[in-house]
Amino acid sequence: MKQINSIWKKGPGKLGILKPLLGSWHAQSETSMGKVSCFRTFIPILNGKYVQLNAKWEFGKKVYEEFAIYGIYNSKLSFWSFTSDGKRSEGVLTDGKDIHPESIAFEAEMPAGLARMIYWPNADGGFNWAVESKNKNGWKRFIEHKYKSI
């Protein structure tokens, strides 16, 4: 098997996998609603026992926000997400190596079925982020962003 050089440097402990995401990030993309500018900030909180995500999506004057907490629950890295449209989701770490060997992926059961979000390193020193839904043929991607550090 070919050895893959690690791009991301992980930290210690069960939350160490999230270390490459810590900091503030920005992506711009085209959507069916027009241009979107998305900001994500990941910070350790509560003595490093959790990681907090604040995300803000700007579609011109329309703003959509997400607040999420990542932590350990039942010995698994999990997340709890709350959004400005009143929705919430929760999920657990899963395998995303079909996307990239160093991916960080989470699955969540949503009203429309199983979904996953994946973070993986890109060659520009940032990361890519995608959301996919599971169907009978596998995973169908419906959003992808390329983030750069800010």
Distance of alpha carbon 39 from its chain centroid, rounded? Answer: 12
pLDDT digits over 7-55, tens only? Answer: 899 999 999 999 999 999 999 998 877 899 999 999 999 999 999 999 9
Yes or no: say if 22 and 1 are a contact pair by the CB < 8 Å rule. Answer: no
pLDDT digits over 99-129, tens only? Answer: 999 999 999 999 889 999 999 999 899 999 9
pLDDT at position 4 is 52
DSSP conformation letters of 38-103:
EEEEEEEETTTTEEEEEEEEEETTEEEEEEEEEEEETTEEEEEEEETTS-EEEEEEE--TTT-TT-
pLDDT range class, residue 5, cuts 50, 70, 90: low
The whole-angstrom separation of Cα 150 and Cα 65 is: 18
| Domains within the chain, CATH numbers bracketed | 16-149 (2.40.128.20)
Q: Which amino acid is at 125?
A: G
Other C-beta atoms closer than 10 Å to the C-beta of 107 total 18
Q: Which residues contact 39 (CB under 8 A, 6 or more apart)?
A: 24, 25, 26, 55, 56, 58, 150
